[in-house]
Amino acid sequence: MEKIVILTGAGISAESGLGTFRDEGGLWVQHRIEDVATPEGFARNPALVHAFYNARRVQAAKAEPNAAHVALARLQQDWPGEVIIVTQNVDGLHEAGGASDVIHMHGILAGALCAACGHRWTAPPEMAVGEPCPACAAPTARPDVVWFGEMPYRMDEIYDHLAEASIFAAIGTSGQVYPAAAFVHEAIASGARTIELNLEPSAGVSSFDETRFGPATETVPQWVAKLLGRR
Ligand code: OAD
């Protein structure tokens, strides 16, 4: 049975009102990565880092899934093979749209992580500096998101899925951040057919067999309908 592996990025949540990173007015245009998305930045100024993620957590909690999230959930339900969704996004919109078993390789805003013992728990809407870990009481709570210089989560599992993929799709991602940007090459090595769905060509566009450009709320439902109709 054909296995589909899908990588999503910030572009899939753009039409739900969540800003992307590198587009005009994006998060990395307004904030310095080294201040808010590195372990060193957190050590220097944890209050600034918490304020950044608190604002994003509150905003993400208010956002609604869009037609692209819902279409991928439908694909998961109706496709006879496995459909694995790997997301770089820290929002929970795939799950809110009905998807299951989503692999959050860059973590999740709704999670808190103890930097001392590794314990994980549900983050309050606003985290504060020095909040004690419920397991070990160390005052080292941090958002459960992956920062630059840290290893993304569940990489072995992701590579196992890519090795078995018949179809690989990258949706709403600029292809500028590794290791996710190299997943297409893993998929090609496994013999998968590859497709990019993005607003505009990504940095890695030439690696894909097929491309569909436009807003995710249009291209993703159309692609899913084609896949399901083809059977
Ligand atoms: P980027 O902001 O780099 O790229 C977003 C992509 O989405 C761009 O290629 C846009 O053209 C596209 N896009 C924008 N609006 C869209 C729409 N309505 N429909 C379809 N596509 C649209 O975001 P990511 O590629 O997700 O990591 O960034 C990857 C990682 O870089 C993030 O996970 C984050 C960031 O630094 C960490 O923080 C570790």
Query: Torsions phi, psi of 230, nearest 5?
Result: -70, -20
Which residues face 212 on adjacent strands? 197
Do 75 and 159 have their domain in common?
yes
Contact 223, 75 (CB under 8 A): no
Assess whether 39 and 129 both reside in one domain: yes
- Mean of the pLDDT values across residues 77-103? 98
> Based on the domain organization, do 98 and 165 belong to the same domain?
yes
pLDDT at 196 > cutoff 80: yes
Q: Give the largest Cα separation in the chain, rounded.
A: 55
Residues 53 and 32 in one domain: yes
Mutate to test the pocket of ligand 1, among 199, 213, 218, 222 (most ligand atoms within 8 A of CB): 199
Q: What was the pLDDT predicted at 1?
A: 79
Looking at residues 152-170, what average pLDDT do you find? 98
How does pLDDT run across 199-209, given as a tens digit for each residue?
Answer: 999 999 999 99
Does residue 116 sit in the same domain as residue 184? Answer: no
Q: How many residues does the chain have?
A: 231
Show Cβ contacts of residue 59 under 8 Å, excluding neighbours closer than 6 positions.
17, 18
Place of tokens 């372990």: 39
Q: Are 9 and 88 contained in the same domain?
A: yes
The reply to whether ligand 1 has any atom less than 6 angstroms from the CB of 200 is yes
Computed over every residue of the chain, the mean pLDDT equals 96
Q: Residue 109 phi/psi, 5° resolution?
A: -60, -30
> Can you give the pLDDT at residue 24?
87
**Banded pLDDT at 57 (limits 50, 70, 90):** very high
Which of ligand 1's atoms lies nearest the C-alpha of 215? 19
Span of 23-27, 34-38, 173-177, 218-222 with lowest mean pLDDT:
23-27
Which pLDDT score is estimated for 42?
A: 96
What local confidence, expressed as pLDDT, does residue 231 receive? 61
Q: Which of 145, 171, 205 is the last residue of a domain?
A: 145
Ligand 1 atom at minimal distance to the Cα of residue 10: 26
DSSP assignment of 5-66 equals EEEE-THHHHTTT---SSSTT-HHHHS-HHHHSSHHHHHH-HHHHHHHHHHHHHHHHH----
pLDDT surpassing 90 at residue 44: yes
CATH no. for residue 51?
3.30.1600.10
Task: Say how many domains are in the chain.
Answer: 2
Which residues constitute the domain of residue 38? 19-58+110-145
Mean pLDDT of the 56-64 span: 96
Place of tokens 């304020």: 51
157 and 188 share one domain = yes
